Structure 1
Amino acid sequence: MPVSALLTYTLVALVAVVTPGLDTMLMLRHTLLGGRRAGFRALTGINLGCLVWGTASIAGLTALLAASRIAYDVVRIGGAAYLLWLGGSALWRSFRHQVPDAEVIVEPGRGALRAGLVTNLLNPKVGVFYLSLLPQFLPAGSGQAAWGALLVFVHVALGWAWMSTVLLLANQARRFLMRTAVKRWLDRLTATVLIGLGVRIATESR
């Protein structure tokens, strides 16, 4: 692969990474409401999902999403339903209970990692992104799987570096958001955004 092609891919991947989206929103929610550790767990789950999508793209499995409207819609509706469940359950808890200072309305432990992983895997646009981008930068001939793995790694590494920076900055801002009332309304706001994203994914076309 020419160096110029690799640099071009890196630039395109960087633009995709720094553009705020569902993964960024989910990571910020866990960071602001659960702390740095919860944020990194969610970020780890997101990047594991990217690795799964990237591997599936190299193996050709995500071609099914591009070729089959039914397969794409199944994943899309599943992702929308999961987002609606995440946002709806958070809203229900925030209105039903008074939130003590030590409590946050996010899933502790492996829950943040699971939320990041499942949300990413149920977002078919991640698979379509890899499927549409990788073939344009793979060299002809043998070794395409190895080059494809390198391109996926570059994208995941850029995502980890950028979102880790955003996460650490958000964690610093968290010090000003620890009062009970602020946390409660912040959770309601982010939960509402998740519901909105779920509705958008459910109703949008390919």
Structure 2
Amino acid sequence: MLTAQALLAWTLMSIGLVLLPGPDTMLVAGHAARRGFRAGMAAIGGIQLGGLFYMALCGFGFLSVLNAVPGMFMTVKIAGALYLAWLGIGMLRGAIKPASGDTQSKVRLGGSPFSQGFISTVLNPKVAVFFLAALPQFVGTGPNAPWHGMLLIAIVYGIGFCWCVLLAALATHAGRKVGQSSVMRWFEGALGAAFLGLAGRLALARNA
């Protein structure tokens, strides 16, 4: 049974988790800075849909399949790492090559902001492993555990939504300031390098 103390502890832990730099924050900041607030919000929408995906897995009891099925974690991990690396390489190419009329089509190479937000969330098995490891400590194993788990996951993504909206607004303002200057290209290059770093970290992650 969830208590007020447990909800407070989970909320504080969720705030720390959300504030840690990861694919979500970088996707939102990158799209908002380069393409405006609406693009940032589209990425947020995809991330939130990914959160609903994990809530559904928890509610139907499928979250543990990631650990239970041999090779499942490795398959999702490799797919997620390749996707993040693909996004990173695309950003680096956009930063290196001069801006041109077909820049927007190149930016869309990895999909729309919405699809990028959703796919990068779903293909990050460390998110599922975190929920799998942390949720039982708060919800127990009773008949209502899946529903309580869904509530706690919703708290994480609710906090994440507020943080990402603020981040999108700040990034949009910053993007308007620098426009299409070399500063923006450096920013895009830094994001691309960061995505490649995240891809490498995910590829080396172990199923704990």
Q: What is the TM-score of this pair, normalised by structure 1?
A: 0.87
What letter is aligned with 1:200?
R
What letter is aligned with 2:11?
T
Contact 1:34/1:106, CA 8 A, preserved across alignment: no
**CA separation in 1, counterparts of 2:73 and 2:37?**
34
CA RMSD in angstroms comes to 2.4
What letter is aligned with 2:99?
V
Question: 1:73-115: CA deviations, max 9, x gaps?
Answer: 110100011111112233334444x21499556339x700000
* SS across alignment from 1:205: coil
Aligned to 1:126: 127
Shift of the 90–115 alpha-carbon distance from structure 1 to 2, 3 Å rule, reads same
* SS across alignment from 1:20: coil
Is there any run of 5+ residues in structure 2 with no aligned partner, and where?
Answer: none
* SS across alignment from 2:71: helix
Aligned to 1:73: 74
Report matched runs for 1:58-137 at 5 Å: 58-68=59-69, 70-96=71-97, 98-100=98-100, 106-107=107-108, 111-137=112-138
Deviates more, 1:84-93 or 1:151-160: 84-93
Number of equivalences: 204
**CA separation in 1, counterparts of 2:101 and 2:178?**
11
Q: CA deviation at 1:123?
A: 0.3
Q: CA deviation at 1:180?
A: 3.5
**CA separation in 1, counterparts of 2:85 and 2:134?**
29
Aligned to 1:154: 155
What letter is aligned with 1:192?
A
**CA separation in 2, counterparts of 1:22 and 1:187?**
14
Shift of the 145–67 alpha-carbon distance from structure 1 to 2, 3 Å rule, reads closer
**CA separation in 1, counterparts of 2:91 and 2:16?**
31
Aligned to 2:32: 31
Aligned to 1:145: 146
**CA separation in 2, counterparts of 1:139 and 1:197?**
32
Question: 1:137-158: CA deviations, max 9, x gaps?
Answer: 2156443333222222211111
